[in-house]
Structure 1
Amino acid sequence: MDEKNDKITEAALIRALENAKAFSQQLQKNREKRLWKKVDIPCSLFDAINGLTKAEMDTIRKNYDFRNLSSLKKAELASELAKLVPLKFKKVIYTLDQSRYNFIKVIIKNSGVIPDVGISVSSAEAFMEFSIIFPGLYDDQKILFMPNELINIFSQIDSNELENIVQRNTEWIRLTHGLLYYYGVMDPWTVKEKISGLTGQEVDILEFMNVMSFACDFYGQARYTSYGYQDERVFDAKKIVEEHRMRPDVEYYPFTKKQLLKAGDPGYVDKTPEMNSFISFLLKHYRLSDQETNEIALQITNMINADSKPTLIIQYLLSWMEFPSFEFVQQLTARIMELYNNTRQWVLKAHTPNELFQEERKFLKLLPGEPFKISQQNSKVIDQQTRTKVGRNDPCPCGSRKKYKKCCGK
C-alpha cells in the first residue's frame, strides 16, 4: 500500500513539475507579447511612457522615488512622469556600469534606435522600468529605442567624469556579486565596508545602494531583501544569517580583490582541486562536454551550499548518467564527501568545514571518511548492456554470477 501511495505521489509531483514548466513558458510568452508593442518612430518620452501599463508606470515612479502620484489616472501619470523623469535622469545615468553605458552609446550612435539584439526579457524590462530604453515593434520588427529628450540629457553629461563613475560602479557591482557568491547573504553596510577595504576608497552607502538597485534588476545575480543583499541562488537567507551570527569570532574568509572580481562573473564556478578531481573521476567513466561538467559542478556546489544531503547529489547525478555498479556508487559517494568537506560554504562565511573543524568541533561534524550507506531502494544500479534497472533477484552486473541481492546489492 505504501509503495502504491509513493508511486501516486511521485506521479503527482512529476505532473506538477510539468505543469509548472508549461505555466512558466506561457508566462514568458505573455511577457514578450506585452513587451513588444507597436510604436511610432521617432517616439517622444510621453508616447513611450503612455504606451505602458499603469503597473509599469508605477514601477518607474517607485524607481525614481516620485511621490504623491499613485492616485493619478493612467494618462495623468504618463504626463507627470514625462515631465519629472528628465529632471532626475542624470541620477539614474550615474548608476550605470560599463556594459549598460556601452549599450546606451551604441543606441545613441544609431540615432536612438537599434534592432533587437537578443537582449533578455528581464534586461529589456529593467531598462524600461528605469525609463532609459524602451522595447517596441516597428514595421513588424523588434526594436529598442531611446526618446530624443533622454538622448540629449545623456549627451550633455557624457564626459570623463561620467566614465570614471561608470568604472567605479562596474567594480562595485562585480565585487558585490563576488562577495555574495562566497558568503550568500550580507547586509549593505558589511558589503560597503568590504568594498572600501578592497578598493582603498571610502564608499558612500546611498550611492552604493542606488547603483546596486538598478544592477539587481538588470543582472538578476543578486537581490535585496530584509536580510540584506543575497545571491540569487540562496533560498533560505534566514538560515545563513543565523549561522553567521552563531560564529561571531569567525571572520569572513579573506579573499583578494582579484578573486572576488573573478567570482562576480555570471555562471562562475569555484573549481577547487577537489572539484577538479571529482570531475576527472566522472570523465573516466562518462563522455561529458565542458558545458555538461560545468553545469554539474555548478549545481553540486549550489546543493552543498543549500545543505542538501549527499543522497540528493546522487539522485541529481542519476538524471545525467547511469551508474554501472554499486561499487561505483560507493566510490562516487566517497568523492562527494571529500567535496563537502572542502567546499567554501555560505553558512561558514566562505570557510570550508576542514578549515574550521579544529576551531569549531561543537558546531561542525565532518562527513565520515568511509562511504555512507545508501539504501537499496534509493540506489538505481543500471546494467550498462541492457540499459535496464537491475532487480534484486537478477544476476549481478559485476559478473560474479551471483544474484544481485547476494552480491553488490547486499
Structure 2
Amino acid sequence: MAPMASMAHQAPLTHPVAFLARRAATALAAAAVLGAAAAPAAYADDAAPSASPKKLPDGLYGTKDPQYDGVWRQSLALLAQDTVGVRPAASGVRWLVGQQCADGAFTAFRAEPGKSCDAKTMRDTNQTAAAVQALAALGGHGDSVQKAVGWLKSVQNDDGGWSSMPGSASDANSTSVVIGALAAAGEKPRSVTSKKGGKTPYDGLLTFQLGCDAKEGERGAFTFQLKGAAPNADATAAAATGALGKGFVVEPADQRADAPVKPLNCKDGGDAKKDDPERAAAGGDAYLVAQLDKNGQHLLSAMPGAEKQPDVGNTADAVVALAAGGHGAAAAKPLKWLEKNATDWAKQNGPAAYAQLVLAAHATGTDPRSFGGTDLVAALNATGPEPAAAAQKDTGDADDTTDGGGIGVWWVIGVGLAIGAGIGFLLSSRKKNQL
C-alpha cells in the first residue's frame, strides 16, 4: 500500500501506502521519522489545502495537522478497521464523506466542508482514490464512490495514467492507487481508457518499469516518473500491486502454493512481453526481494543529505506487494522484520502507519492483534473515535449506529456469520473485476 514516501524518494506518496517524496516542507515534517507515513501529495504554497484547524474536527483520526494527509489517513484507518471486522464510528465515516467536493474529487483537507470547492481547491487523485477504496469497502456510499470514480476518469492522462495533481505528468504511484480504487469500485481497470489514444491504466503504469535495457540490478524496478528515471522501491511496491489490479487490501497469500520469485527474463527478446501486467508485477516483486535480501529484510530511504536508514512504511508496502503476487514465503521475511521494528514508528506516526501494518499483516494471514507483541487493531482504534460496535456494547450509545437505530450484539454476530458464508462469492466476484 503505498501511501507514503520518505523524503529521500523522488516520488509522491500514494500508496498504500509511503509514496510522494516531492511535497511541501510542512508535509515532510510529519514524515521526519524513518519511512514516516506522510501525505500523498505535494502542494504549491498558492494551491494548498485548507489551512490547518485550531481544533481537530470531530471524527478525524490522528492528532497531527491534517492539512496534507487528512483524507488519506482517515481512509486508510477506516479501511484497515473494516478489513479486520471492526465497524468504524459513524462520525469518522461522516467526516470522510463530508470532505468530498461536488464534482466527486477529494482534497487532503477541507476546514470548511460546508463551503463549496472552487477552482483554487487542490483536488488530489491520491486522496480521492484512497477515499474510494475505504467507502467502497464500508458500503452504503455508492453515490459518493461513483462520483469520485467519475472524477478520476475525467482526469486520466492521455498515456492512460494519473498524476497526483491533475494536469501534471503521470507517475507510477498515483496510477497504481487509482487502479486500486477502480477495482474496489467494481470497475474493470482495463476498460477505463484515455480519451485520446484509448490507453488503459496498465498501458500507463507499465511505461514506468525499467526493462531489459536497464542495468542488471535495476531490471524490473519501477521509476516514479519517466523524467529522471531511476529505480524506486516505493514506486515498485505500489506498481507491483497495481499491475495485478489490486488496491490496499490484498487477500492473504497461500504459502502452501507459494509462487517463486522470478526476475525479468531478458533472454530471447524478453521485452517482447513488456505489455503484460502480470509479468511486470513479477519483475517488480523480484526487484523488491533483491533489495530486501541485500538490506536485512527492510527497504532503505534517506533524508536529503543524510545516510540511508530503514524505511518502515515502504517495507510494509513491499510485504503487501509480495503477498499480492502470491509470494507468501518471500513476504514473511520482511514481515518478521516489521514485527520487531515497526511498533515505535507506528506509534509516532499514527493512524495511517498503524493501518499500513494492519494491511500488511492481513495480506500475509498474520494476526494484527498479536503483531510482535502489539495489538495493532486496538492501537489503531485508539487514534480515532471509538468504533461503533464497541461503543454500542460498552456504553449503549446509539449515536454511532447506522440508520439512527441501535445495534444489538446478536445482530452483529448474525452479520458476522452471514459475511463468513458469503466470502467465497465476494472473492470470486472481486477477481472477475480486477482486469
Larger of the two Rg values belongs to structure: 1
Q: TM-score, normalised by structure 1?
A: 0.24
Higher helix share: 1
Q: TM-score, normalised by structure 2?
A: 0.23
Higher strand share: 1
